[in-house]
Structure 1
Amino acid sequence: MDAPDAAARRAPGPTGPPARNFPLAFLRQLRTRDLLPPGLAESDAPAPPAGAAGRPPVVLIHGTWMNAYSTWAMIAPGLRAAGFDVHGFNYGVDRGCRVGRVGGVAGVADLEASAAEVADAVDAVLAATGAERVDLICHSQGAIHGRLYAQERGAGRVRTLISLGGNHHGATLSGVSRLGDRLTAAGIPVEPAFTRILGPAGLQQTPGRPIFERLNSAGELREGVRYVNFASRVDWIATPWAGGFLDHDPARPGACDPAVRNIRVQDLGRGQWPDHLSMLYSPTVLAEIIAALGGPARQPDHAVVVPVWGQLRPPALAGIGAAAAAGWLLARRRRRRR
Structure 2
Amino acid sequence: MFLAVALAALIIEALFGYPQALVRRIGHPVMWIGALIAWADRHWNRASDSFTLRRLWGAALVLLLIMAAASIGLGLTAAARLALPEPFATGVLGLLASSLLAQRSLGQHVSAVASALEKEGLVGGRRAVSMIVGRDPESLDEAGVARAAIESLAENFSDGVVAPLFWLAIGSLPGMLIYKATNTADSMIGHLSERHRAFGWAAARLDDLINLPASRLSALWLALAAIAIPRASARDAISAVWRDAHKHRSPNAGWPEAAMAGALRLRLAGPRVYHGEIVEDAWMGEGRADAKASDIRRALRLYRAACAVQALVVVAALVAVISIWR
TM range (shorter): under 0.3
TM-score, length basis structure 1: 0.26
Identify the structure with the greater helix proportion. Answer: 2
TM-score, length basis structure 2: 0.27
Q: Does 1 or 2 have the higher relative contact order (CA < 8 Å, sep 6+)? A: 2
Identify the structure with the greater strand proportion. Answer: 1
